Amino acid sequence: MQNILKKEINEAFREKQPTRMAIGVMWQAAKTVSLYGELLKDLDYATQVRLGVEYKANEKFSIRSGLQPKPGLSSGGFGFIYKNITVDTAIQYFWNNNHFRQLTTLSYSIHKK
C-alpha cells in the first residue's frame, strides 16, 4: 500500500500523492514460462487488472507481453543480459488513441568478489 496517510505534496494547492493498494501473483507455469497478475486500486479511480507472461528462451534472453484492459493498453518487450550489462526494452500501445510509448533501460551490475 502506498501513501496510507494521504500525505500532501503541495500544501498550498492541497495536492496529494495517490493512495494505492496492489496485490499480485506469479505462477511459474513451466521452467521457461511465468504468468503474472495484479490488481491495483487507486482510491480515486476504478480497480485495474494487469496480466502478463514472460518466456525465458535461455539464461540471457527473455520475451515479455502484458495486457491492461482498462484504460486499454497492450505491451511487449524483451530483455537481454551480456556479462554485467542488462538491456530491457518495451513498447506500450494505447487502444483508445492509437498511441505508442517506448522505454529502454540499460543497467550495469557491479559484483563484489
pLDDT in tens, 100-109: 999 999 999 9
The number of folded domains in the chain is 1
pLDDT band at residue 2 under the 50/70/90 scheme: low
Q: How many Å apart are CA 54 and CA 61, to the nearest integer? A: 11
Helix (H) or strand (E) holding 15: strand 15-16
- How does DSSP assign 27-77, residue by residue? EE-SSSEEEEEEEEEETTS--EEEEEEEEESSSSEEEEEEEETTTTEEEEE
The pLDDT tens digits for 44-75 are 788 999 999 999 999 999 999 999 998 899 99
Residue 63: inside a domain: yes
Whether residue 3 lies inside any domain: the answer is no
Residue 1 forms part of a structural domain: no
> 5 falls in which pLDDT band (50, 70, 90)?
low
Sign of the dihedral through C-alpha 104, 3, 71, 56? positive
Average pLDDT over residues 76-86: 95
20 within a domain of the structure (yes/no): yes
Please check whether residue 113 lies inside any domain of the structure: no
Looking at residue 2, the DSSP 8-state letter turns out to be B
pTM of the model: 0.76
Q: Which domain holds residue 72?
A: 8-108
- Evaluate whether residue 2 is within a structural domain: no
Instruction: Give pLDDT, residue 42.
Output: 85
Percent of the chain with pLDDT over 70: 84
Q: Tell whether 66 is covered by a domain.
A: yes
